[in-house]
Structure 1
Amino acid sequence: MELLPIHTPEGFDPLDLLKPLAAALAGEGPAVAPHALPDQVFEGTLPNDEIAAVISTSGSTGTPKQTMLSVDALAASASGTAFALRAEGQWLLTLPVHYVAGFQVLVRSLFAGTQPWVMDRSDGFTTKAFTDAAAELTDRVRFTSLVPTQLHRLLADPSPETLRLLRRFDRILLGGAPAGAALRALARSHDLKVVETYGMSETCGGCVYDGTPLDGVELRSVDGRLRIGGAVLADGYLGAPALTEERFAFNSGQRWFVTDDAGDVALDGSVTVHGRLDDVIITGALKVSATRVADVIEALPGVGQAMVLGVRSEEWGTAVAAAIVGDVDADVIRQAVHVELGAHAVPKVIVTLDAFPLLPGGKPDRRTIHSLLEHA
């Protein structure tokens, strides 16, 4: 089975990927492997002729892995999305296509037979570029996929035209990172049809929409860790059989992807994601949920975004630290966290940033933020 690496640097037209992707999905061409690095190496052999794409994970918390996605998995994801959204329509692409969320915009468009529109990313993600691109959509049914940082920027000081076009979308998929209570409330205040998604490259992107798994997707919580099963699962990692065996485990005759996320699954199948397992900070022998601390901070007036991480501390072993985007006094933050969660959860380190450093796919760069907090 052949693999077709496709370099997607700044200035690459994502629509140039449509033809080879269509051939791969039809079984008439090699699997496509979009990548941003000019020296990207693909080591290993594809296990079968059903692989249509190799997509690298974001690498937000470690070394990126090259995930093998089959025709059937991508088809199951596209059909599940159409069923969940109750329509197929025209998509606006705002994310790089070498990340699964951007790549899936092209996949869904091909299965739906619609023409995607591409936002100009030559200056990165800007409100003007998004507004200009959204104005070009022509279909009656319209979708887009954003990460929380993008939506935060769009709603920071929106023009009437930007809001009009945002409301025009039948659904705005929001994923890649937790949205946060403040952003969710802001989106509701503007009557935006936001759907929060949960998933990863190993599940062909989002596989849980507003807490409900897509058709054919099942989740289980094993000792508090989420596992995902169903037709959307990847075939594993290219050139990494040991890691594939570890993360794609068989149980009761079914294959499950073992995530790094904590969560609960209700009797009706609905899913609550609590955050990454490593978001639990043990400070002074007490456990602190970084996600809950961030939610408290983001609920404060003047705070746009918050990320809470653990940093090394001689006194505490690990200390709670918070990076925020916004304008709020540190004492106000400490007081709010103390009241809501207790003294042990109060951040010992607080850093205010103009904006979070981002990975190319739009996710906050956790490692860079952690370094900033460590050296504050």
Structure 2
Amino acid sequence: MPELSPDSARARQPGADLAELLRGALQGEHTVVLPRDRSGDVRLAPPQAYEAAGTDREAPALVVFTSGSTGRPKGVALSAAALTASARATERHLSGPGRWHLALPTNHIAGAQVVLRSLLAGTAPLQSVGRFTAASFTADVARLQETTDSGVPLYGSLVPTQLVRVMADSDAMRAAAALDAILLGGAAISPALLRSAAAVGLRIVRTYGMSETCGGCVYDGHPFDEVELDITADGLVRLTGAVVADGYVEVTDTGSGPVLRALPDAGTGFGTGPAGRRSFLTSDLGRISEGVLEILGRADDVIITGGENVSPLAVEAVLLRVLEASGAAEVLVTSVPDPEWGERIVALVRPAGGELAALAAAEPDPVELARWVRVRTGTALPRYEQPAAVLPLTELPMRSIGKPDRTAARRLAADRLGAGLRRL
């Protein structure tokens, strides 16, 4: 392999513009390798730094690392064709090309897609600076309106935690209503939150997808026009079509830049279906009801308690619906080991006011608080899905993109409950 020069292999200089780097990637000039975290550098790999490793794949346009929610982050190889198909499908689903508010980190696919959609639309996104707050969002939308030509649609992309903050502030709610659409995904979404958003005129589009599908490719339960979805006999969601990645790549850092090596499909979930269309078998359990996809949770997140399989996502949805009236803003369900049941359900709850906040201020016993919760959930959850302990927290464990960190949640629950585990 030819030696790579540092100048051509990476883009480390301050102010490197991701949109311009992506422009070159779409034209085949290089591969953009996004950093694993926000503090890292965007790097460039020329075509000769790609090893197909027995495959017939060409060098990808973009490599983005998975969130690592199920293990070590993996490099996902996304072609120019897949990225373009995804961006154009979003335009068709919304109101055409538009100007975007960028409030998500660009080292993840959701943030990178905002930049890419803007590039293809011939616009520049307005990027949020610093910590996301209701006030910063309000100011950003005002600047977005002031600097965008009349008639150009305005869009945003948020995770549920950000929308919760917006909905808690009247000025931010009015700003959000000025956007033609807000893509929302990345974590469990409270039905009551969606109803409240709709009631004040917010146009929320629920998204489902992952790095392996160039981000969201199912909007409000319906796949893009170039995407097919099906549910396997094991209940897993499979996605097929133009937006599916080429596969995973191994990224090796050298003194002269990154070297990319394609990894085989075997055991990865990637495959090739009829007519050579790429497919990806997710780890998500789902069902299709009247043509609409409903995600039930990840297969590897399933909690087995007393011989019963419990989906944390399904329990979170019920608890959110029931407890919002008492002041719950967010819920994250995990488990702790139990000698009798195998695992016991634990709910981490972030109060935002109301009766639940008052109870949390009194530092209640987690087991007693769980009994209080069970009275309110009643028959909405079967006995084995009811939490044995409830821990109120000011912030729930989250990864940088706003997805729940279930590994950290489980560790936190075990640390906080300690000896109390024996009496759950």
The AA in structure 1 aligned to 2:281 is: V
Separation in 2, partners of 1:7, 1:162 = 35
The AA in structure 2 aligned to 1:142 is: L
The AA in structure 2 aligned to 1:155 is: M
Relative to structure 1, is the Cα distance of residues 292 and 335 closer, same or farther in structure 2, using a 3 angstrom cutoff?
Answer: farther
Displacement of 1:288 in angstroms is 2.6
Are 2:154 and 1:145 equivalent residues in the alignment?
no
Matches within 5 A, 1:176-255: 176-223=186-233, 224-239=235-250, 241-242=263-264, 246-252=268-274, 254-255=277-278
The AA in structure 1 aligned to 2:391 is: V
Relative to structure 1, is the Cα distance of residues 88 and 4 closer, same or farther in structure 2, using a 3 angstrom cutoff?
Answer: farther
Name which of structure 1's ranges 103-112 and 279-288 shifts more when overlaid on structure 2. Answer: 279-288
Are 2:296 and 1:274 equivalent residues in the alignment?
yes
| Counterpart contact for 1:337–1:345, Cα < 8 Å | no
* Structure 1 residues 259-295: Cα deviation after superposition (integer angstroms, max 9, x where no partner): 0101123574x32222212343221112333223212
Name which of structure 1's ranges 243-252 and 194-203 shifts more when overlaid on structure 2. Answer: 243-252
* Structure 1 residues 165-205: Cα deviation after superposition (integer angstroms, max 9, x where no partner): 10000000001112122322221232210000000000000
| Counterpart contact for 1:120–1:133, Cα < 8 Å | no
Partner of 2:26: 25
Separation in 2, partners of 1:51, 1:178 = 31
Separation in 1, partners of 2:73, 2:265 = 12
Separation in 1, partners of 2:392, 2:407 = 16
Relative to structure 1, is the Cα distance of residues 291 and 7 closer, same or farther in structure 2, using a 3 angstrom cutoff?
Answer: farther
Of the two, which has the highest radius of gyration?
Answer: 2
2:339 to 297, 314, 318: 314
| Counterpart contact for 1:284–1:317, Cα < 8 Å | yes
The AA in structure 2 aligned to 1:185 is: R
Partner of 1:64: 73
1:162 to 159, 172, 196: 172
Separation in 2, partners of 1:251, 1:26 = 27
| Counterpart contact for 1:105–1:116, Cα < 8 Å | yes
Displacement of 1:365 in angstroms is 2.2
| Counterpart contact for 1:225–1:262, Cα < 8 Å | yes
* Structure 1 residues 136-184: Cα deviation after superposition (integer angstroms, max 9, x where no partner): 112431001001111111212x03x322210000000001112122322
Structure 2 segments unaligned to the other structure (5+ residues): 251-261, 360-368, 418-424
Q: CA RMSD in A?
A: 2.6
Separation in 2, partners of 1:355, 1:243 = 38
Partner of 1:292: 314
* Structure 1 residues 77-116: Cα deviation after superposition (integer angstroms, max 9, x where no partner): 0111001113110001001111000000011011111121
TM-score by length of 2: 0.80
Separation in 2, partners of 1:4, 1:342 = 56
* Structure 1 residues 281-327: Cα deviation after superposition (integer angstroms, max 9, x where no partner): 22111233322321221122211011112321112101111111115
Partner of 1:45: 50
Separation in 2, partners of 1:38, 1:114 = 26
Partner of 2:34: 34
Structure 1 segments unaligned to the other structure (5+ residues): none
Partner of 2:112: 103
Partner of 1:55: 64
Q: What percent identity do the matched residue pairs reach?
A: 39
The AA in structure 2 aligned to 1:324 is: V
Displacement of 1:130 in angstroms is 1.5
Separation in 1, partners of 2:155, 2:50 = 35
Partner of 1:92: 101
